[in-house]
Amino acid sequence: MTFVISKLYNVITGIKFSLNDSLYSRDPQNTELGQRILKHSINLIDEIGLEDFTFKKLALEIESTEASMYRYFENKHQLLLFLTSWYWQWVQYLISIHTLNIDDPERRLKIIIKSIINATSENALNEYINESLLHRIIINESSKAYHTHAVDEENKHGIFSSYKELAETIARAILAINPSFPYPHSLASNMLEMAKNQVHFAQHLPRLTDIKVPKGDLSELETMMEFFVMKLVKD
Amino acid sequence: MTFVISKLYNVITGIKFSLNDSLYSRDPQNTELGQRILKHSINLIDEIGLEDFTFKKLALEIESTEASMYRYFENKHQLLLFLTSWYWQWVQYLISIHTLNIDDPERRLKIIIKSIINATSENALNEYINESLLHRIIINESSKAYHTHAVDEENKHGIFSSYKELAETIARAILAINPSFPYPHSLASNMLEMAKNQVHFAQHLPRLTDIKVPKGDLSELETMMEFFVMKLVKD
DNA sequence: TTATTAAGAATAGTAAAACTATTATCTCTA
DNA sequence: TAGAGATAATAGTTTTACTATTCTTAATAA
């Protein structure tokens, strides 16, 4: 019996990404407490927002201690960086799966758009990350990850590489359709930002958008994104 | 002599906008200390970033007290909201001047693009707001203004109306070119966001863009924005 | 001229956030 | 069974983000 419990203690379930060392003090994916930190921080940030989120509140939720949180992440900003990186790797992973045998460049790009937008509804088959809530955090909080005075320093440590690699993937797909398109990287990053912002606007500042997101249904966003991207990319 | 000093004390110089009541506790544009708060907060936020910025440091800079800062703004988030609102009203004002006698819709939209991008180089003729630094703050920090758990509450109080009115102006200009364009508001907000993000990326995460901003020269951004917008809007 | 008001300064707090350090305990593994 | 690694428990410190109160001075209105 104790054997089962002690074994359970170390079981790592589902998908796990290799993330840059600088995104944590100790990799939370590898321990039970680490996974609980991820799970509950996603719940709590979604619930009260990053500003009001503290390690003390998180520890209370988990029934652990503040000090234990600090063994995994230096501060809540690093935790946010971890969560966003994880998310972008997840999107990258979904794109690679869904475009595996697709040769038509236009179909590829459309699948990429779909993957960016619907990453939330696919299940990572790990128990500690709720992609749907994480998606909401990405929409609401992720811009804070790179809008900071420490961007350059953090960038040197490779903190943003998953985001940049995802943008590179999209840029390549754009060029596959139109090799002379002059702004593939700008369009790629703009697609990612637009996918976030337009949902946020639809939900909070509806005069800033023309789409609706009824009950989280993102199909209007997908139609619009396709319209924008295809009109721009095609000759 | 005392007369001159006491009179100087109350001189309000240059342009002044009427901003929503909820953006301050006491309108900083109306007093000497208020103007110094605006001026030095712009300098200080630009220098150390919003995260490290505190009213204590600001008071030290101004040689006033923390408590006095709180008589103008409830907290630093409200100060950020004030600065961003001021900036968007400033851009709106520039657009209205520059498009005054322009009837050709395409020329109008191009002037709008130019105004959004080059708002920084025009002088407001008031001494307490440095538009160039403020523009950098907008680029680096303004997204934090509406990415907060209190968006809905703040939106109810009309906090974001200058941004929304500016977007509405742009949307109308888009429809003037192509009345059947299906996403005028989304394109308008995306233009504003893109103008910020692409500069930020060029300066800090260059793999996310194709433009360069050498020594703050924004001409490549303008060319790209025109390309994107015109290709999308025109039939 | 004086009384009133408003602006700002000075002082002195508090509560919470954001950490850090130390020691103890517990469990797994060698 | 000893040692390593993970987590807990405890107890701090510093800084931030405020609030409250009193005092002084300047502007203004009667």
pLDDT digits (tens, 9 = 90+) for A96-107: 999 999 999 999
Domain range spanning residue B106? 102-235
- Is residue B167 in a domain? yes
- Angle at alpha carbon of residue A124, lines to A221 and A134, rounded to 5°: 55
> What percentage of chain A carries pLDDT values higher than 70?
94
Is A18 within a domain?
A: no
Q: How confident is the model at residue B32 (pLDDT cuts 50, 70, 90)?
A: confident
Whether A181 maps to a domain, the answer reads yes
Q: What is the pLDDT of residue B14?
A: 62
Residue A136 confidence (pLDDT) above 80: yes
Domain assignment present for residue A117? The answer is: yes
Residue A221 inside a domain? The answer is: yes
> Within an 8 Å CB–CB cutoff, is residue B197 touching chain A?
yes
**Contact (CB, 8 A) for B85 and B27:** no
For residue A77, tell me if it sits in a domain.
no
Which sign does the torsion angle of CA A88, A52, A121, A206 carry?
negative
Q: How far is CA A123 from CA A18, A166, A235, B47, in A?
A: 18, 19, 37, 43
Q: Does A150 fall in a domain?
A: yes
Task: Report which listed range, A16-20, A146-150, B118-122, is most confident.
Answer: A146-150
Rounded CA separation B175/A76 (Å): 44
Given CB atoms, is A223 within the 8 Å cutoff of chain B? no
Radius of gyration of chain A measured on its C-alpha atoms: 19
Confidence bin at A145 (pLDDT 50/70/90): very high
Query: Using CB atoms, which residue from A151, A183, A224 is nearest to B210?
Result: A183
Q: From chain B, pick out residues whose CB is under 8 angstroms from the CB of A183.
A: 210-211, 224, 227-228
Q: Give the nucleotide at minimum CA-to-C1' distance from B27.
A: C7
Confidence of residue B234 (pLDDT cuts 50, 70, 90): very high
Assess whether pLDDT exceeds 90 at residue B2.
no
When divided into structural domains, chain A yields a total of: 1
Question: Distances from the Cα of A130 to the Cαs of A25, A40, A158, A192, A235, in angstroms?
Answer: 22, 10, 25, 20, 40
Domain for residue B59, yes or no?
no
Minimal Cβ distance to B210: which of A151, A185, A232: A185
